[in-house]
């Protein structure tokens, strides 16, 4: 919003009604050269009357406004109240200040509707403008100093509120000419386009110098034509312009000297003529490629290995041809993997940090276990595989004992256990046509096929209460075998009651709420986020479809959680992870194309299955395996709520 400042000449004062009638006269020209035509005002009464341009401090309304040749005649009313307080103090202060002449300034806040560039300057003439508000502002005899202070205060207030700085202009006497052009708003400098070269700065300063010299000549010429000396305002503006011109001239001299010095030191780029020139150290120009999305580099690696195996070519050569310029790191990953496969007995294709780290980085936020320990959510207690763990099965107790009395004994019990590495794996089959496809969508499809399968298997095994685990194959879920709290209902009161019951059970088992984390389905979280109270406010504002906070504790959501909610003590969950992914591939294997294969070669009576040849179908099979395991330290580490239908309509 633009501003136009003017002096207020009070014609009449009505003490009881607190009405003022005055006229906003045209002041001296603004040094910036902007001109606002009073007759171009577009407004609708009443107009807000503000105090010192503070939108949170209104003092009344403009009830009458008429545009004349002399300016804009206004009639305003300052509100009068009897109730003591800050509002009464502000209104009384404004009225007394205006009535006794302490505040003589009016500032019109407006939005430009039609403007034109003034020829030979960087200033604008506003022919039509929308009048938004009128403010009473303090403008004493030192006009320019006061306007500068008002601009400074306005800038600080806008910066504090997050608004951008706007131009400040004043009403000027008509007379300047310009070419008219219709515009919706005043062109403003684009953000982030600061001058970057000395030549650009010199051109800008020269234009500013010319504008100020022209203004200086106009002030002096006006006084000569009228056969008088400059008045106080003209003298002050004349002296200010003269000082600014001197400052710009000195700055231009410094810039031209710097430009000449840089030109003298510059060297032409060409063919070296001597050995010394050819061996001189120079900084090379390098272009940094944008890093791909997490997981894409892993998919590119897998693609290169698959193509190399199928076409009997060097994987590093294929990687260089496909990604040498846009992603050189893929080339290095492939080279490292090829060297590792030639120097180790491990059959896994990925044996370096670059490949599996990219996969894990993409997988982590898409799984329940991957979000523990991230973004302020408490993390698991990490332990290594095959290391004996001694845990307390029953607690010991202490007693108060009188003098000379025997001290009672307690016998705590201990258990010894260890976590073995378990593998979650999946096989993805890709055709050669897909691997040869160079579009980004092919890489995304390959990445998502592997990641989604691993994420689903991990989440379901980790949180599903029906998963009792399989010895040396799959770990039991952290919610298996628990005595659950049955949900009491669907509305807000029932939700709070269910959460209170779970948290009470959680605390009663000596679990610290500071390490508590809610785990629920994305559907449940969405239903909670849409629940509102009688006032239309969100019942649980901290929760969204993607998680957040619920009852003051962090919440993790997953599409693989059923109609139950778990409160997990993260510190009481042991977690083991080798931190890598092993990828194998084959083009000659025959696969049973089912997610529940029935083939069994080690049974007493082997079970046959229908197989599909990868060689016959011109396909490549990728097998991804991740070694991971978890274990609940004690049963009371998790509180479970079952039968959850929060937010659903009452039956």
In tens, the pLDDT along 314-341 reads: 878 887 877 776 777 777 766 665 544 4
Non-local CB neighbours of 76 within 8 Å, separated by 6+ positions: 19, 20, 49, 60, 61, 62, 63, 134
Residue 29 pLDDT greater than 60, yes or no? no
Residue 411 pLDDT greater than 90, yes or no? no
**pLDDT bucket at 393, cuts 50 / 70 / 90:** low
Q: Is 205 helix (H, G, I), strand (E, B) or coil?
A: helix
C-alpha 362/C-alpha 461 separation (Å) is 20
Chain-centre distance of CA 645, in angstroms?
A: 33
pLDDT of residue 193: 45
**pLDDT bucket at 53, cuts 50 / 70 / 90:** confident
C-alpha 86/C-alpha 196 separation (Å) is 49
pLDDT of residue 540: 93
Residue 566 pLDDT greater than 80, yes or no? yes
Residue 350 pLDDT greater than 70, yes or no? no
Pick the residue with more confidence: 93 or 180?
93
pLDDT of residue 173: 35
**pLDDT bucket at 280, cuts 50 / 70 / 90:** low
Non-local CB neighbours of 451 within 8 Å, separated by 6+ positions: 295, 359, 362, 363, 366
Provide mean pLDDT across the span 135-156.
Answer: 44
Q: What is the dihedral of CA 503, 505, 508, 512, to 10 degrees?
A: -40
Residue 45 pLDDT greater than 80, yes or no? yes
């Amino acid at each position: 919003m633009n501003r136009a400042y003017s002096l207020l000449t009070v014609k009449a004062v009505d003490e009881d009604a607190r009405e003022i009638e005055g006229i906003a006269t045209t002041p001296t020209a603004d040094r910036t050269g902007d001109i606002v035509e009073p007759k171009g005002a577009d407004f609708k009464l009443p107009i807000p009357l503000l105090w010192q341009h503070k939108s949170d401090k209104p003092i009344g309304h403009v009830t009458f406004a008429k545009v004349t040749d002399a300016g804009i005649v206004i009639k305003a009313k300052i509100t009068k109240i009897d109730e003591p307080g800050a509002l009464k103090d502000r209104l009384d202060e404004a009225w007394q200040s205006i009535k006794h002449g302490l505040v003589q300034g009016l500032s019109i806040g407006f939005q430009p509707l039609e403007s034109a560039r003034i020829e030979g300057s960087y200033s604008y003439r506003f022919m039509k403008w929308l009048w938004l508000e009128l403010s009473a502002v303090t403008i004493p005899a030192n006009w320019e100093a006061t306007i500068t202070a008002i601009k400074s205060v306005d800038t600080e207030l806008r910066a504090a509120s997050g608004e951008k700085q706007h131009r400040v202009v004043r009403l000027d006497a008509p007379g300047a000419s310009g070419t008219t052009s219709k515009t919706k708003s005043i062109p403003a400098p684009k953000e982030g386009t600061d001058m970057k070269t000395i030549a650009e700065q010199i051109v800008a300063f020269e234009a500013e110098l010319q504008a100020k010299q022209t203004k200086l000549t106009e002030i002096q010429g006006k006084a000569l034509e009228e056969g008088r000396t400059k008045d106080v305002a003209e003298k002050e503006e004349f002296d200010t312009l003269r000082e600014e011109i001197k400052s710009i001239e000195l700055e231009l001299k410094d810039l031209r000297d710097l430009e000449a010095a840089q030109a003298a030191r510059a060297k032409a780029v060409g063919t070296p003529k001597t050995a010394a020139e050819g061996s001189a150290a120079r900084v090379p120009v390098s272009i940094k490629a944008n890093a791909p999305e997490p997981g894409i580099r892993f998919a590119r690696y897998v693609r290169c290995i698959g193509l190399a195996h199928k076409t009997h070519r060097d994987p590093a050569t294929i990687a260089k041809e496909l990604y040498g310029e846009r992603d050189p790191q893929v080339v290095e990953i492939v080279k490292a993997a090829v060297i590792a496969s030639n120097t180790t007995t491990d059959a896994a294709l990925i044996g370096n940090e670059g490949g599996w780290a990219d996969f894990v980085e993409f997988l982590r936020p898409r799984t329940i276990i991957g979000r523990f320990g991230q973004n302020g959510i408490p993390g698991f207690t990490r332990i290594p595989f095959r290391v004996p763990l001694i845990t307390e099965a029953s607690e010991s107790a202490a007693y108060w004992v009188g003098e000379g009395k025997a001290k009672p004994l307690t016998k705590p019990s201990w258990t010894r256990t260890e976590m073995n590495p378990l593998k979650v794996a999946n096989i993805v089959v890709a055709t050669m046509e897909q691997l040869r496809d160079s579009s980004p969508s092919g890489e995304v499809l390959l990445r998502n096929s592997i990641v989604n399968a691993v994420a689903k298997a991990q989440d379901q095994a980790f949180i599903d209460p029906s998963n009792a685990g399989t010895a040396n194959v799959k770990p039991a879920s952290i919610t298996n075998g628990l005595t659950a709290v049955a949900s009491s209902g669907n509305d807000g009161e029932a939700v709070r009651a269910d959460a209170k019951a779970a948290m009470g059970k959680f605390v009663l088992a000596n679990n610290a709420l500071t390490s508590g984390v809610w785990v629920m389905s994305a559907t449940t979280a969405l239903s909670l986020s849409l629940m509102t109270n009688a006032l239309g406010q969100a019942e649980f504002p901290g929760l969204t479809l993607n998680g957040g906070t619920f009852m003051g504790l962090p919440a993790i959501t997953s599409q693989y959680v059923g109609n139950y909610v778990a409160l997990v003590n993260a510190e009481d969950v042991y977690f083991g992870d080798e931190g890598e992914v092993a990828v194998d591939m084959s083009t000659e294997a025959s696969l049973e194309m089912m997610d529940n294969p029935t083939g069994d070669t080690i049974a007493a009576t082997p079970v046959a299955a229908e197989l599909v040849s990868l060689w016959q179908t011109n396909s490549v099979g990728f097998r991804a395996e991740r070694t991971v395991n978890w274990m609940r330290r004690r049963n009371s580490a998790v509180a479970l709520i079952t039968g959850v239908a929060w937010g659903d309509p009452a039956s």
